[in-house]
Chain A
Amino acid sequence: MSSGAPRKYPGYGSSERTQYAPYSAFDIPADLRELHGRWDVEAVAQRVRNYRYAEEWSMRILGGWVATIPELPVKTGLGKIIWDCAQSADALGERLPELRFARRPTGVALSPNPDFAKLVEAISEPEDPDLTIEKLVGIFEVLFPHLVEVYEHNIRHTDAIADAPSIELLENIVARHRRHMAWAEEVFDRLVDTAEERERREQRRRELGARLRACGGVTGDWPIEPENTVEAVRKEKST
């Protein structure tokens, strides 16, 4: 190489730099993500275990109901949703060893508290063929919307760079649950026709919703109070 030619690789002297212009993570494309999320590694692992608990039990409850639901398109529609929940639970389990939580897959699910476990049990209770509305409300109008809210909150408030794998898998799960809820909405449009049926739907939603709020949801700390958000914490630190 002639001495005047632009260098492709750095040399040992300060004059032996390469020809390439410097770019950092803050240039092109602009990386607007910030370090530091609301949770540390252990706390994220704990939340992932909570999510896994909700996804696993959703899969099992829906599996139990398939035989007890007389409406054929609901029966068959649940088949795919069961598999989606299984994949979500599995992906959450796969994330745990990456967060220093390595156990056998069956031991990873964790309810945040006994009351959330009781809520899940209450959701699973209806089994009579007359109770398709009550069954579907528990999963599709109480639990899944709650999970979507919590997962999206998690996506927004975890460390956007360091915890990106959690974000990506939660985004996938959120997309699945949004499809599930849209499917259920169509089912409700067909199933809920009379004033009595509307009242059954509303009452079930009220009852389970109250229990969900009382137990703090899937992570035991929901709803998130404004003073605990990551933005509030950052603001407090900066002042």
Chain B
Amino acid sequence: MKRFIDHSELARDRRFVRQNNVLSTILADVEDNVEAVVEAIEEHAPLIENSVRGTAAEPLFERHGPGMLLVRPNEPMDPAHPAAATQLRLRLHGVFVGELQALEGAARSLWDFPDAPWEFQMNMARQCWDEARHVQTFEKLLDHVDVEPGMFPESTFLFECACSEDPAMRVAGVNRALEGLACDVFRDTIRYAEASGDETLRQAVDFVLADEITHVRFGSEWVREFTRDDPEYGQRVQDFRREVDRQFSFGGARSARKDASIPIAREDRLEAGFSPEELADLEELSARGPSSETLREALGVLRERHEARRQAG
């Protein structure tokens, strides 16, 4: 078996379809400007349409056109909002495939880095069990909200961004950036579950969050250990993690901004070994990107154009 695999080689059963990973990074690179957002989305319209055909996301495309990408990160999740159920379903499915990729990332670390310190391998092995349980937990939660695995397209962007061939960068990408994002998503999902009175969701996600904090802590400790005697290497690893975190901020959707749909889980991240300086930096780099007002206006424009195209036949 070879060392290091490409994200396209992640094996799935026939229920799953892939979404082009380019679509996950569109908003990370766009300015806070309606025209720029509309142009970036229109440019990828065929890819977007192709990725949702035959999935449960198709009705969303029918309704919004390629602007459907803006529906989810547009605003914080609110149980009273008419789109709340759809948002929750999309989020839980996204988390489910994210957990699958986290399992695959941790497991590959065992095969890809056989000479790593034994304690590192023990941490990764433990993470395999944890991530496997998370996949099982979210499979049950999908059922809880009437979603089947594979109902929505899967982006393997998390694995692609996080799984470096360098062990320190791998652990920075998977354990600090990806698992850190998971902490943010789960803290917000717990908030949503409390607001909606969904105790099953709240308790399950709370357990998962406790594990994720442990995994981020593994990452914080191993990045320190791997780069201890080489400050220049340490800086490169930190830069890598910052770039992954920028991508994982989805143009401010995950940020400390008031309009973020996924706020940064500050307390959880501090507990997991992020320093206050790193958090300040994360808040700064994740805040870049279009505001929710810009996205809402862009969505309106895209919807109108989509409607016009449909009517034109």
Contact = CB atoms under 8 A, between A and B. Distances in A.
Interface of A: 56, 59-72, 75-80, 82-83, 85-87, 90, 93, 104-106, 124-127, 129
A66 B107 contact: yes
Contacts of B112: 64
Contact of A79 (B2, B9, B131, B139): B131
A76 B103 contact: yes
Contact of B125 (A83, A104, A125): A83
B107 A127 contact: no
Nearest to A90: B122
12 contacts: A60-B111, A63-B108, A67-B104, A75-B135, A78-B128, A79-B132, A82-B107, A82-B128, A105-B118, A106-B115, A124-B1, A126-B1
Q: Shortest 4 CB-CB distances between A and B: which pairs?
A: A79-B132, A64-B111, A63-B110, A86-B125
* Centre residue among A67, A80, A83, A105 by max chain B CB count within 10 A: A67
Contacts of B130: 79
B135 to A, nearest CB: 5
B144 interface: no
Interface of B: 1-2, 5, 9-13, 100, 103-104, 106-112, 114-115, 117-119, 121-122, 124-126, 128-133, 135-136, 139, 149
Contacts of B5: 67-68
A87 to B, nearest CB: 8
Contacts of A66: 103-104, 107-108, 128
Contacts of A90: 118, 122
A73 B78 CA distance: 33
B121 A59 contact: yes
A212 B100 CA distance: 34
Nearest to A71: B13
Given A64-B107, A75-B135, 4 more contacts: A63-B107, A68-B9, A76-B135, A82-B125
A76 B114 CA distance: 21
**Dominant secondary structure at the A interface:** helix
A83 B107 contact: no
B43 to A, nearest CB: 31
Given A71-B13, A127-B1, A63 B124 contact: yes
A75 B5 CA distance: 16
Contacts of A76: 103, 132-133, 135-136
A64 B135 contact: no
* Centre residue among A79, A85, A124, A127 by max chain B CB count within 10 A: A79
* Centre residue among B107, B135, B139 by max chain A CB count within 10 A: B107
Contacts of A67: 5, 9-11, 104, 107-108
A99 B308 CA distance: 79
* Centre residue among A65, A77, A93 by max chain B CB count within 10 A: A65
A126 B2 CA distance: 10
A67 to B, nearest CB: 4
B129 A80 contact: yes
B128 A64 contact: no
A59 B124 CA distance: 10
B11 A61 contact: no
A85 B1 contact: no
Nearest to B10: A67
Contacts of A104: 118
A157 to B, nearest CB: 29
Contacts of A70: 11-13
Contacts of A79: 103, 107, 128-133, 135
A180 B103 CA distance: 19
B117 to A, nearest CB: 6
A49 to B, nearest CB: 14
A173 to B, nearest CB: 15
Contacts of A83: 125-126, 128-129
Nearest to B111: A64
A75 B2 CA distance: 18
Contacts of A105: 118-119
Nearest to B2: A127
Contacts of B10: 67
Nearest to A105: B118
A65 B1 contact: yes
A85 B118 contact: no
Given A76-B103, A86-B122, A59 B110 contact: yes
Contacts of A56: 121
B101 to A, nearest CB: 9
Nearest to B113: A60
Contacts of A65: 1, 107
Contacts of B118: 90, 93, 104-106
Contacts of A80: 129, 132
B109 A63 contact: yes
